[in-house]
Amino acid sequence: MDIETSNDPEAFSEFENTGWNEISVAYELQFGPLTSQSTSTVVEAAQVESGTRFLDVCTGPGMLAEEAAKIGADVSGLDFSEEALAIARRNVPGATFHQGDAQELPFDENSFDSVVCGFGIIHVPDPQKALREMYRVLKPGGRIALSVWEAPGPSNGFGLLYGSIKAHGDLSVPLPHGPDFFQFSDETRLSNLLESSGFNDVSVKTAEQFWNFEEPSELVSCITDSTVRARGLLSAQTEANRQSIIEAVISGLEKFRVDVGKYKVPMHALVGSGSK
Ligand SMILES: C[S@@+](CC[C@H](N)C(=O)[O-])C[C@H]1O[C@@H](n2cnc3c(N)ncnc32)[C@H](O)[C@@H]1O
């Protein structure tokens, strides 16, 4: 089973790094309450205990690092964005954070008992290279756990967004080429990524997550303020198409309304884990 890589890794990394430096503050506010809903599932799958030597790759604002620190783990985090790291250092003062690339981890082999990566692998030009690095820095018997978004569909937020772009805009506008954002959004493909990178005892579970909004426009600002690729995709549309897409997202949100002024949008995660 082929794992897609970027065909222009330098341009894609530059695009992602610039983007994350611009949006990490907004990401913490708008995605933090969402991705924090799966942190306990990821940390449990990585079998973190008090004293575990723990590494959070693509830490962002440090949600997984914070969860592991609460358990008493010895926490390190890594991200390539200075802005993300500044937030993580503020949120998890007891942890040690490093600036670096997930594809070239600045750690010796056999350094950690648990390595996690929350919604990060889908941003890396060569996902398997990053997985092999995570394998290298884990001790024998150590655990990996990583989360990715579930595939876009009629009953989730990414389905609404990408369905609206497909219907009213152009999904093929030119952006630096990155691997398919949803290539691991399937149990078989996520298992294959882990197994082909050397891990055994692989399993995948779903962690439920929901975006809760009071205003339909909040979903649009989550995308335009707090994402890198989806924001790039939207801003590359013509003005008329962008307006039609936004209107379609807002009207499509009605099916997720659970009460007057309350919208609950499924944004579930797949959590894959395994052992070295
Ligand atoms: C979607 S955020 C995930 C944040 C957090 N882990 C969570 O669960 O919400 C992705 C993070 O990965 C970082 N990132 C993307 N590509 C990276 C790379 N090649 N090396 C290191 N960090 C990277 C970004 O800077 C960003 O902070």
Residue 4 lies in a domain: no
Q: Nearest C-alpha to atom 14 of ligand 1 is from which residue?
A: 58
Residue 1 lies in a domain: no
178 lines ligand 1 (CB under 6 A): no
Give the C-alpha separation, 256 to 236, whole Å. Answer: 27
- Tell me the CATH number at 150: 3.40.50.150
φ and ψ of 275, to 5 deg: -120, 150
Which mean pLDDT values do the consecutive 10-residue runs of the chain (276 residues) have?
Answer: 94 96 95 97 98 98 98 98 98 98 98 98 97 98 98 96 93 91 97 98 98 90 90 93 94 94 96 98
Number of domains present in the structure of the chain: 1
* CA neighbor of 102 nearest in space, from 80, 74, 86, 83: 80
Residue 191 lies in a domain: yes
Residue 30 lies in a domain: yes
Q: What spacing in Å lies between the alpha carbon of 239 and ligand 1's midpoint?
A: 29
- Give the domain extent around 268: 9-275
In this prediction the pTM is 0.97
Residue 28 lies in a domain: yes
Classify residue 152 by its DSSP letter: P
211 lines ligand 1 (CB under 6 A): no
Q: What is the pLDDT of residue 197?
A: 97
Q: What spacing in Å lies between the alpha carbon of 261 and ligand 1's midpoint?
A: 32
Give the C-alpha separation, 231 to 254, whole Å. Answer: 22
Q: What is the pLDDT of residue 174?
A: 86
